Structure 1
Amino acid sequence: MSAQDFLVELGTEELPPKALKTLAQAFADGIKAGLKQADLAHAEVQVYAAPRRLAVWVKQLSARQADRTQRMEGPPVQAAFDAEGQPTKAAQGFARKCGVAVDELDRSGAKLSYSQQIKGQATTDLLPEIVSQSLDKLPIPKRMRWGARREDFVRPTQWLVMLFGSDVVDCTILSQTAGRHSQGHRFHHNQAVEIKQPSDYVEALRNAKVIADFNERRTLIKQRVEQLSATENGTAIMPDSLLDEVTALVEWPVPLVCSFEEHFLQVPQEALIISMQDNQKYFCLLDEQGKLLPRFITVANLESRDPSQVVSGNEKVIRPRLTDAEFFYLQDQKQPLESFNERLKNVVFQAQLGTVYDKAVRVSKLAALIAEKIGSNAEHAARAGLLSKSDLASEMVTEFPEMQGVAGFYYARLNQEPGDIALALNEQYMPRGAGAELPSTQTGAAVAVADKIDTLVGIFGIGMLPTGSKDPYALRRAALGVLRILIEKQLELSLTELLNASIELYGDKIKTDGLLTQLHDFIFDRLRARYEDAGVDVGVYLAVRAVHPDSPLDFDQRVEAVQHFRSLTEAEALAAANKRVSNILGDAEAGQVQQQLLAEAAEKTLFAALQQAQQDVTPLAAAHDYTGILTRLAHLQAPVDAFFDDVMVNTDDSAIRTNRHALLAQLRQLFLTVADISQLN
């Protein structure tokens, strides 16, 4: 069967840069899905995306569907004809459905059937609907209409190219009639570009100053920015998100070095970077020490005859923004950082929970408690907590919300606050996302945990629990932040103690009935996904969760121990034995083992083994060496197996039966020192 290349390009007004990659891939995926559903074979599919176009090139696409046989089954033959051999209503209905006479139906099998040859359709007849459906299914949160047209799309459409081989596919999609003419660069080549066949597409547009391949433009920008950075003795800040967005803004990228006045460097560099990177999409440059250089790189969308004009224009654009940042920074320095707290007394944190200042006071007290528990400086933690929200009332953070915490750090240093207090004002927001940096200081860790616990307790305490899709106070992230800090910084703290302290600080502002249990469960529930992502079997998590550890660090140490235990050869048999013991004992309480009632050799051996194990495990438990405990308990497999092989547990003698239950309870309790390993089975 013959095959041809297929090309579709939809031209539009400038597409949303942050969504361009997603739209392009979804367009291609939709077309591939449509071709698969139509049973049209093809080779490689290439995706193209630029500010004013989405395109897909399908190589070696079959020219038509293969002919196929369609077989339909009807009623059983016995029910299709009466005693005289006349067709029943069931047979007549099936014949009508097939569009044939009853005599043409096949009655050789158990059921009536009809087979017909269906001729495959030409690919060119199918492509318009495939493309239309793919465009309709694009992930566009808000569509728009333009002019008097009823069609809607993410941006107004301007042209449509659809070629199968060298022939135009005759159709109209989104008010655009398909042709073979694309458009070149808006400034360098603002005219039609003829595409004779799909394989000409990339080079035809390149000649018209458009690099259609997103990845090619991205690579070019990255390489050129790195080269220019090196000439300036710096390193460019190039987060993937910014690089993608800049790539989506230009058709013909031309990176250029620009500069700004050095006096702006007195401003915290984070504010300057926000102004240049987030607002203007510039690449900032850092020196070897990580300090901002008075240079930045812009990516123009054209080759100017006089690049200095482009450079000058960008420098004029950024100067007022940097001037604003400098002004706000100098204004904020006219008063001490703590004075901003007065403004926070009029700023509501949450209507039922009081002001932001009230929150800072609570955080201060809770942070001091945490610092004391972890052996840190409680006075510093209290001071950092009290100042923790002060920069929210500063001019800098009002203008640049992303500077919260960062501004506080700089202002605290200017006010001669101790270093750990200054750092804590920024570190309180850590970790800022999944896998993000944790506080580097004990004071910062104390304030970060206190702030998150305060938010969790307060919002839960007024009944505003997160739902499946809504979590406006980022409570899940707060819970994960608490867990990460306590586990990864090896801070041994009782979660119940922290929650109770926070609940007490809120007083009668919150409802406390069942609150502690609700919060405890919510926080530890977050660990399940964390461990699953790390490749830990869910049974390991459940085994530890069953014994209700109160310290996240202790929980993690137990998980690590159980995960190691699973790798031992004895693990499966002992997990099964624990499950059996659990089923035998149920919720009944067992008493002490009466040694004189031990009759069988196997139960005597098990008793001795348990006594020795208890002696060995006690110092390990005191040291929280859970891996050592389970490794030692693995040696119990042989006496446990022998016990179940040779001893009747539920004997008719009630005294002996009770004693054997007590023996099994002792075995189970040893393992519960770490986890309920019956959950592993």
Structure 2
Amino acid sequence: MTKNYLLEIGLEEMPAHVVTPSINQLAQKTAKFLKDNRISFSEIDKYSTPRRLAIIIKDIAEKQDDIDVKAKGPSKKIAQDDEGNWSKAAQGFARGQGMTPDDIFFEELKGVEYAYIQKHESGKDVSEVLKGMTEVIKSLTFPTRMRWGNYDFEYIRPIHWLVSLLDDEEISLKILDVESGRMTRGHRFLGEDVEIDSVRDYVEKLRSQFVIVDAKERKDLIRDQIQTIADDNDWVVDIDEDLLEEVNNLVEFPTTFHGTFDSKYLEIPEEVLITSMKDNQRYFYARSHDGKLEPDFIGVRNGNSEHIENVIQGNEKVLVARLEDADFFFKEDQKKSISDYVAKLKTVNFHVKIGTMYEKMQRVHQISEHLAGLFGLSESEKTDLLRASDIYKFDLVTNMVDEFPELQGVMGEKYASIMGESDGVAKAIREHYMPISSDGELPATSVGATLAIADKIDSLVTFYAVGLIPSGSNDPYALRRQAYGIIRILDANNWSMNLNDLQKFVVENLNVPAKLDLQANANDLNDFLIDRVKQLLNTTSVRNDIVDAVTSGSNIDPISMINTAKVLQKHVADVDFKSIMEALGRVVNLAAKADFKYSADLKMADSLFENPSEKELDKQVQAIYNSQSKDATNLYDQLASLKEVINSYFEENMIMDKNEDIKKNRLTQLVITNHLIAKLGDLSKIVVK
């Protein structure tokens, strides 16, 4: 016969962003606890509000499964002396198993006899096992933790009550001075404490006290209420799922309402209005069917509809105060010029160890000019890029961005357009922040994409120059995100950017204070960027061994690595892929035996060729060098075409010839050929079957 078990952890209000991860963690750790303790169950239902984390374990077994255990002890020669008497080791082994030496038997394992004890363990009653749930509760981890009272124990918020019931039977738990029972708490303002008689009553008992404990039910209710308001007013409301999740975890009994604000505020940029409503007040905004923002908002109250008019008036008052500030900032900001704001950046630190924002923009101007030529931007695009690089951080010192930091870039675009900058410059100012997350939107314009790369390159090289390098999970300046953004933008535009050449340009051309050693961690920075290439490729269907191969070769251009990986993945199913890799791999392996490396002036002596295959390989390899093709598909096809001549080469020639001159000549030929192959990657890492 199975039962159901309820655990509820009652807390002070948790931050909204913690609720869902915490209930998921509680369910996962509970499932592991039950599995480790041999308790079967069918499923775990999750319930959560800002004040509680609760689970109901369905069809939980009445007791642990019985098990038969064969424990292995010391070898026979240690367990017994020559006369068959039990040693202290054997006695200790038996005692540790709760048995006596008479229960020991011997079995052979790999030619050696060992002592064993066979024992039967009867499962404990589930009510005994569930007392261990206190350890599950204590094991939960949170992004922030707090203490209370005189206790050293830390948790997301103070624990005020515990409910622990197996059907209708109380299972005793205790954490600090909080002992479990069957009393839970209703809505903080509308409800009362209520006794849970049985697990099956939990959801409805709380509903009677104005707590909808099922998070999905609560979210669906909010969504339906918003849609009803939208339909009644002929609005279009695009429900932001992140905002809905946040609001849902702020309330226990949701009631939606809508308020209005004066239409004069619609003259403020839409992004400011939306930020004020959505990010600051957690309101949903409304549009007309033709896409225009309406002077209305929808909020969610943690309570019922009583006195809702007072709630609406209060929320309108708060929002209007914010909009008044925004309107004032918007008008005041336009009284100064962009050059005024740029001058102020001379006193704003980018980082105390690196310099000011103004100095950063000067460096980004240099990098942008270099990248414009590298990426083939048109003259008009280059003009916009260089102008944008001179001013693109100006909005950081405006009143609006000071009040709404999340609008940096957005207000830069708005003010730049108002103050007469070209559309390309204005868009680039906004787009240079992109992507703002690992999978965020990328810049849509070439000017914005180039400025975004230049800005991120400057951040990377300067932080690395002063030793502020990410380690482990520590990345306070989001350098991983910025580096990944560079790789994503290069990939989206198919732009080539050799990392060694970039480092050379930076060291030779960037105007930086003497305290910035741009060469100090250059190799580490290259590796850091290549790791982001791996990260990108790991989101595709490219095999791991191919990813390792292309990121370990001589070509450290991210787009070449990415394109080469895709080409190799495309060919892995070819019938001749294995034989091609084996042929090229032989060159790689034998070239490694040379005691010299490739250089542009490395030459062979034709007079030392003894067989036709040497001349033919030289001819075909030189043809590939002369073609100067950077296309990954062409390079693969060209190298694949060498298979037959390579096979003939190794059939006809002894590489490690007794004649030292011939030996060196052949090794030279292989090193030159391997230099080409290395452009694909380290092919020794590719697994062929």
TM-score (norm 2): 0.88
Deviations 1:564-623 (A, max 9, x none): 343432222222222222222324467436388444xxx54x75477357547854x44x
- The equivalent of 1:248 in structure 2 is 249
Match of 2:538 among 532, 537, 547: 532
CA drift of 1:482 comes to 2.4
Pairing of 1:133-172 with structure 2 (within 5 A): 133-146=135-148, 153-172=155-174
1:367 is paired with a residue whose SS is helix
- The equivalent of 1:122 in structure 2 is 125
Find the aligned partners of 1:669 and 1:101 in 2 and give their Cα distance: 71
- The equivalent of 2:340 in structure 1 is 339
- The equivalent of 1:204 in structure 2 is 205
- The equivalent of 1:490 in structure 2 is 494
Deviations 1:624-671 (A, max 9, x none): 332133234434434433444565444445566556545545654553
CA drift of 1:257 comes to 2.1
Identify if the C-alpha distance between structure 1 residues 308 and 492 changes in structure 2 by more than 3 Å, giving closer, same or farther: same
Pairing of 1:227-376 with structure 2 (within 5 A): 227-287=228-288, 290-373=291-374, 374-376=376-378
1:5 is paired with a residue whose SS is strand
- The equivalent of 1:563 in structure 2 is 569
CA drift of 1:551 comes to 4.2
Find the aligned partners of 2:680 and 2:82 in 1 and give their Cα distance: 77
One-letter code of the match for 1:594?
Answer: D
Deviations 1:34-62 (A, max 9, x none): 21121111111111111222111111111
Find the aligned partners of 1:71 and 1:490 in 2 and give their Cα distance: 62
1:533 is paired with a residue whose SS is coil
- The equivalent of 2:104 in structure 1 is 106
* Contact 1:453-1:502 at 8 Å conserved across structures: no
Identify if the C-alpha distance between structure 1 residues 371 and 141 changes in structure 2 by more than 3 Å, giving closer, same or farther: closer
- The equivalent of 1:183 in structure 2 is 185
- The equivalent of 2:461 in structure 1 is 457
Q: Which stretch shifts more, 475-484 or 41-50?
A: 475-484
Q: Which stretch shifts more, 72-81 or 162-171?
A: 72-81
CA drift of 1:248 comes to 0.7
* Contact 2:9-2:54 at 8 Å conserved across structures: yes
2:589 is paired with a residue whose SS is helix
Pairing of 1:628-643 with structure 2 (within 5 A): 628-643=634-649
Find the aligned partners of 2:527 and 2:57 in 1 and give their Cα distance: 52
Q: Which stretch shifts more, 403-412 or 72-81?
A: 72-81
- The equivalent of 2:510 in structure 1 is 505
Identify if the C-alpha distance between structure 1 residues 405 and 415 changes in structure 2 by more than 3 Å, giving closer, same or farther: same
Match of 2:418 among 393, 414, 417: 414
One-letter code of the match for 2:559?
Answer: L
Identify if the C-alpha distance between structure 1 residues 81 and 425 changes in structure 2 by more than 3 Å, giving closer, same or farther: closer
* Contact 1:184-1:208 at 8 Å conserved across structures: yes
Deviations 1:66-124 (A, max 9, x none): 4444554544455545455544444444455456665x333465555444444432211
* Contact 2:591-2:674 at 8 Å conserved across structures: no
Find the aligned partners of 1:70 and 1:596 in 2 and give their Cα distance: 73
- The equivalent of 2:110 in structure 1 is none
CA drift of 1:488 comes to 1.4
Match of 2:474 among 470, 473, 480: 470
CA drift of 1:290 comes to 5.0
CA drift of 1:20 comes to 0.5
Find the aligned partners of 1:159 and 1:507 in 2 and give their Cα distance: 59
CA drift of 1:291 comes to 4.3
Find the aligned partners of 1:550 and 1:83 in 2 and give their Cα distance: 69
Q: Which stretch shifts more, 444-453 or 535-544?
A: 535-544
One-letter code of the match for 2:166?
Answer: F
CA drift of 1:229 comes to 3.2
Structure 2 stretches lacking a partner, 5+ long: 108-112
2:104 is paired with a residue whose SS is coil
Identify if the C-alpha distance between structure 1 residues 303 and 651 changes in structure 2 by more than 3 Å, giving closer, same or farther: same
Find the aligned partners of 1:85 and 1:385 in 2 and give their Cα distance: 89
1:297 is paired with a residue whose SS is strand
Find the aligned partners of 1:543 and 1:120 in 2 and give their Cα distance: 52
* Contact 2:584-2:643 at 8 Å conserved across structures: no
Find the aligned partners of 1:432 and 1:553 in 2 and give their Cα distance: 21
* Contact 2:617-2:649 at 8 Å conserved across structures: no
CA drift of 1:399 comes to 1.0
One-letter code of the match for 2:103?
Answer: L
CA drift of 1:537 comes to 3.0
Identify if the C-alpha distance between structure 1 residues 107 and 157 changes in structure 2 by more than 3 Å, giving closer, same or farther: closer
One-letter code of the match for 1:272?
Answer: L
Deviations 1:275-309 (A, max 9, x none): 22122211122445654322221111222134333
Identify if the C-alpha distance between structure 1 residues 90 and 493 changes in structure 2 by more than 3 Å, giving closer, same or farther: closer
Deviations 1:354-387 (A, max 9, x none): 3212222332343244335523333322221121
1:41 is paired with a residue whose SS is coil
CA drift of 1:223 comes to 3.5
1:205 is paired with a residue whose SS is helix
CA drift of 1:260 comes to 1.5
Structure 1 stretches lacking a partner, 5+ long: none
Identify if the C-alpha distance between structure 1 residues 579 and 28 changes in structure 2 by more than 3 Å, giving closer, same or farther: same
1:236 is paired with a residue whose SS is coil
> Number of paired residues?
671
- The equivalent of 1:7 in structure 2 is 6
* Contact 1:565-1:627 at 8 Å conserved across structures: no
Identify if the C-alpha distance between structure 1 residues 248 and 594 changes in structure 2 by more than 3 Å, giving closer, same or farther: same
2:164 is paired with a residue whose SS is strand
